[in-house]
Amino acid sequence: MHFCDEIDFTKEPSFRSPDKTEKENKVLESLDQLFEVLQLKDGDTISFHHHLRNGDFVVNKVMEEIHKRNIKGLTLAISSIFPCHSPLVAYLEDGTILHVITSYMSGPVAEAISEGKLRGKLVMQSHGGRARAIMEDELAIDVAFIAAPASDRKGNLSAVDGNAFCGVLGYAVADSIKAKQVVAITDTLLDKESHTEIPQERVDWIVKIDAIGNPQGIISGTTRITKDPVGLSIANKAVEVMVATGLVKDGLCYQSGAGGVSLAVTKTLGEYMREHHIQGDFASGGVTGDLVEMLHEGLFQRIYDVQCFDLVSAESVKNDESHISMSAEKYASPYRDPCVNGLDFVILGATEVDLNFNVNVTTGHDGYIMGGSGGHQDTAYGAKVSIIVSKLHQSRIPLIVDRVGVITTPGSTVDILVTERGVAINPRRTDLMDALTNAGVEFMTIEELQEIQHGIIGKPSPKQRENKRVIGVSEYRDGQIIDRIYEV
């Protein structure tokens, strides 16, 4: 029934007069105080964001309080899980946490889940898929806990002030809009609003604690540029391929993943742009200091930043208007033409690629979870040309397999594979084949590249999947289930 139809004109209004002396105070002095007012019960869904990455203290502190209160069967909707979150293993085992929904996992929690220690289900989403699921009420959050580097007393949250400043809170924005209750946890209470990213109307409580994280932990494993000569030769080849497409020109829009080879591509691309006086439009993604340097140099006009991978980029968001923070939706939503749709290139990693160009970045060769889509699915779809950069084998572990352990990103959105032994192009992209042929850049089929790989490390025996227990699913950004994840 329509809202207006429900209004009964014949009924005498029975109005309860408001008492204006009863005003709210959002600021609480401890997590203990919070749990006195918070509505949280068995079976609820709680969410966290991961901008403090491996330096985060908030998840463990909150989960410890929840565990103390013996609340069980929670769904943990957390944008990523890092090694620092190892205390959660005990909470999987004792049923405090029932289901886990995340976009990336590495470390002890990932291992424990791979070994079957989660009682409920694991759902792996992309960054854009997570925002979609939240905004569509598919993933309904009861309480969102937001690690906020700084907040005023009204709940205007800033990521560029405070001790543990992380630059951006892009992955927490959808949570803040949709969660029934929103808790900001901060170590820095500001007298006045400053650099608000999430405004006060999205926040129910502000809890002041001693420290929300160690800013040094923002830099974690995947975000260091490779020094390996093979990796560097792949990066050089990738840039050669990019140039061959004709898209490396003024107005270029670019993103790379956080892997060491991908970051090397960015550096090499920068050198090419500098040499050829190319001025790009925007670079986006999780952002590193290298990209910030390219912005300052004028190689790009803008950075769109959903997450800072180091402190240089976190500083830059604060001080540079052309370094623009964005929400996960703006970055990567499957709807409403997100930033990823504007990309010319995205450079991504892979642990496995199959003959249909399906990519696995979720599990390792041994089947253990050691990553997840993050923005992999989103950018592969959005970019005009998605390029996977990877060694063809690593310690005799093959890149190209008949069937990837888990499909993270569907092959229909993966365009080019660049390895140290050759380049393969997705047969859908005859336009790219033409461009590379015209530019004199050699390429082959992925079957040919696999043959080369077999020549070096032999043909691996096919892995068994079917008799193993399913522990979770890999979800595509639009909500479709793309693959199952198996127990190790």
Shortest distance in whole angstroms from residue 378 CB to a second copy: 11
Shortest distance in whole angstroms from residue 219 CB to a second copy: 28
8 A C-beta contact, residue 294 and residue 300: yes
User: If residue 100 lies in a helix (H) or strand (E), which one and from where to where?
Assistant: strand 97-102
8 A C-beta contact, residue 398 and residue 457: yes
CA distance 213 to 207: 14
Bridge partners of 75? 45, 99
Instruction: Choose between 65 and 281: whose C-beta lies nearer to a second copy.
Output: 281
Shortest distance in whole angstroms from residue 103 CB to a second copy: 15
Instruction: Choose between 2 and 277: whose C-beta lies nearer to a second copy.
Output: 2
Instruction: Choose between 207 and 473: whose C-beta lies nearer to a second copy.
Output: 473
Q: Indicate the residue type of 397.
A: I
Instruction: Choose between 101 and 264: whose C-beta lies nearer to a second copy.
Output: 101
Shortest distance in whole angstroms from residue 360 CB to a second copy: 15
**What is the distance, to the nearest Å, from the Cα of residue 259 to the centroid of all Cα atoms in its chain?**
13
Instruction: Choose between 61 and 178: whose C-beta lies nearer to a second copy.
Output: 178
Shortest distance in whole angstroms from residue 265 CB to a second copy: 20
Shortest distance in whole angstroms from residue 406 CB to a second copy: 11
What is the DSSP code string of 250-305? TT--EEE-SSHHHHHHHHHHHHHHHHTT---SEEEEEE-HHHHHHHHHTS-SEEEE
What is the DSSP code string of 144-158? EEEEESEEETT--EE
CA distance 367 to 471: 12
Shortest distance in whole angstroms from residue 220 CB to a second copy: 27
8 A C-beta contact, residue 47 and residue 78: yes
Instruction: Choose between 181 and 390: whose C-beta lies nearer to a second copy.
Output: 181
Instruction: Choose between 235 and 446: whose C-beta lies nearer to a second copy.
Output: 446
